[in-house]
Structure 1
Amino acid sequence: MLQRLLPALCLSLAVASAWAQADTPPAASEPEAAEAGEQILVVGQRPGPGLWKVTKDDHVLWVFGTYSPLPEKMEWRSQQVEAILAKSQEYLTPPAASANVGFFRGLTLLPSLIGLKKNPDGATLHDVLPPDVYARWQPLKAKYLGDDDSIERERPIFAADTLFDAGLKQAGLSKGYDVSRKIDSIVKQHKLKVTQTGIELTMDDPSKLLKDFKKSQLADAQCFSKTLARLESDIDAMRVRANAWSKGDLEGIQKLNYADQESECSNAMRNGEFARNQPGFQNIKERMQASWLAAAEKALASNNSSFASLRLADILDPRGYLHQLKARGYRVEDPDGEVY
């Protein structure tokens, strides 16, 4: 029980699940239409996209682009990734933000987690959401969650996440964590040096942070509305994008339309009053990028071959990680060998 609760505590304290995703690049003006033949999700073993290549002199950093959601029954395996990891010297973990309050300190905070997901003052979704948004919620809740009314007292950002997960499951999609776990196992198999690129979120008083979070309102109605919009109109497009990733279809990948649901939900947390009062919770996105770039440059200077994983959104973002390396004088090629 404690092994499950303590990671949840740290996650709740940092609200890192939202911030670690960072912002997605701007959406295309019109989403691509889901072609009839693409709505069937691929199954079996798939390689995913090729690798981006960052070089300077004779040193190279290979970057693999992850994506979510993916087909639930897909098994990922890339011989290219396995071969390159086998001859690399270092693996850079994906950008992340986390908090660690310590085991015994965490035990004392466990009672404070009760009610963490609930709206302040016993409010319900009907109370805190605009009427038109709540009207859209009801049919989607019935479709994906059934008669569970306990969710009506949760904050919109948490209710939205539960609904989205249920919608993905019905559509035969998953968050795609198996791909990251597979890469981790290959890294362990070849005993690569692992460099954690994430940042630590410091807290002066974790118990006060929890109390402040419980009392504070979050501007998360927009996050909730964007989540509903994806489930209302984007399921088929999600299937198209999942298939494009699984088949390594770079042209299809480059046309991906990343809805801004994640950035809206991240902003709701990042801009909450409870976070604004914490000095260690400021400029998280910028600090994450700076930490990763510093690790990447150090790896490129030290190793003949290094390997990293980044979300496709962060790779394709014109302000993202690889474009920042290009601006610093590194050569960046996409999986087709095209130079940025």
Structure 2
Amino acid sequence: MRRTLLRLSALLLLLACVPAWAAPPVPLLWKVSDHDSALYLLGSFHMLARDDYPLAPEVEEAFAGAGTLVFELDPEEAASPALAMRMVQAARRTRPGSLREDLGPELWARLERQVAAGALPAGWSEQFEPWFIALTLQLAGLARQGLDPGLGLDRHFMRAAAAAGKPASGLEPASAQIALMAGMDLDEQRQMLAEVLDLLESGPARLDRLHGMWRAGDAQGLWEGIAVRMQRDYPALYARINVARNDAWLPVLERHLAGRDDVLVVVGSLHLLGPDGLVEKLRARGYRVERICRACAR
């Protein structure tokens, strides 16, 4: 009897040591159907950790049943070293005056605090436009949280599609994505940098919370934690990087729905959420839409 109790105690201790995220992430996955095919919309977190795998069975089933995959960018373009070079070229400052003058005293001081803390090399940011500085700071902040772009959900499925011999394509060319950023006016760029600085200045807890909400499949929490705030504080930025792109992607998604094969679409989670998201836009066009989430039904 004593030996049994000892074994039970050891088992309970072992279970207590298993992290709360040992279960697969709850997927942000929706099925959009017409009369003969389905489009699976999967919300990605572009940088993840090894502990975010394996994925939920319903996600793997959607991949297995899909005849083709669709991402924000074509996988070949996304993996090309030339893409990073093109982005750096587009981001180099050409306007007269200094970055300090462009940002103004308050935003400049906030950026300088990040440089002093080691987030960027001293003097590096003065070569580039604010949008590129914002992207670099955001990636660096997520990397400090142990998240890796190579483990992001989109990269994971790009590799899986290649291994399975499934065709894959993009919703927009890389040139359009670069033009979207480089075409921002200075006010929009300042908004983008301010939004990223807000995120970093709130400390690791907010980044952890956003990652945790993605793992929990908390669509409402992510909508309120990212989109609602951006809509309120940075409306021009929100319209450019979310609403305009969703509207441009809709005809592409409808062309895929017109075919007979099921399709798995993997895009940033924000693009699926709220009244401006692809889920509601497709529902408004008369398609059958349901969330696929076994853990949500428990």
The answer to whether TM tops 0.5 is yes
Q: Which runs of 5+ in 2 are unaligned?
A: 1-18
Q: Which residue of 1 aligns with 2:281?
A: 324
Tell me which of 290, 299, 310 is aligned to 2:256: 299
Is residue 36–residue 260 contact of structure 2 (8 Å, CA) maintained in 1?
no
Shift in CA distance, 159/329, structure 1 to aligned 2, threshold 3 Å: closer
- Supply the AA of the counterpart residue of 1:292: W
Is residue 47–residue 247 contact of structure 1 (8 Å, CA) maintained in 2?
yes
Tell me which of 109, 124, 138 is aligned to 1:150: 124
Q: Classify the secondary structure of the residue corresponding to 2:152.
A: helix
Is residue 223–residue 265 contact of structure 1 (8 Å, CA) maintained in 2?
no
- Supply the AA of the counterpart residue of 1:54: V
Between the aligned residues of both structures, percent identity stands at 23
Q: Once the 2 structures are TM-superposed, how far is the Cα of residue 131 of structure 1 from its aligned partner?
A: 1.3
Tell me the distance in 1 between the aligned counterparts of 2:271 and 2:242. 15
Q: Which runs of 5+ in 1 are unaligned?
A: 1-40, 100-105, 203-208, 271-282
Tell me the distance in 2 between the aligned counterparts of 1:240 and 1:136. 23
Shift in CA distance, 143/91, structure 1 to aligned 2, threshold 3 Å: same
Shift in CA distance, 92/69, structure 1 to aligned 2, threshold 3 Å: closer
Equivalence map 1:31-46=2 (5 Å): 46=24
Aligned-residue CA RMSD (Å): 4.2
Equivalence map 1:126-145=2 (5 Å): 126-145=100-119
Q: Once the 2 structures are TM-superposed, how far is the Cα of residue 236 of structure 1 from its aligned partner?
A: 1.3
Q: Which residue of 2 aligns with 1:14?
A: none
Tell me the distance in 2 between the aligned counterparts of 1:234 and 1:251. 22
Shift in CA distance, 135/322, structure 1 to aligned 2, threshold 3 Å: same
Q: Once the 2 structures are TM-superposed, how far is the Cα of residue 200 of structure 1 from its aligned partner?
A: 7.8
Tell me which of 192, 202, 206 is aligned to 1:233: 202
Is residue 50–residue 151 contact of structure 2 (8 Å, CA) maintained in 1?
no
Tell me the distance in 1 between the aligned counterparts of 2:169 and 2:127. 41
Task: Count residues in correspondence.
Answer: 259
What do residues 208-227 of structure 1 show as CA deviations (whole Å, max 9, x unaligned)? Answer: x9xxx8xx973333322222
Tell me the distance in 2 between the aligned counterparts of 1:307 and 1:47. 18
Q: Once the 2 structures are TM-superposed, how far is the Cα of residue 241 of structure 1 from its aligned partner?
A: 1.8
What do residues 162-218 of structure 1 show as CA deviations (whole Å, max 9, x unaligned)? Answer: 33333222233445753212112222233334344325869xxxxxx9xxx8xx973
- Supply the AA of the counterpart residue of 1:246: R
TM-score by length of structure 1 reads 0.60
1:86 aligns with 2:64: yes
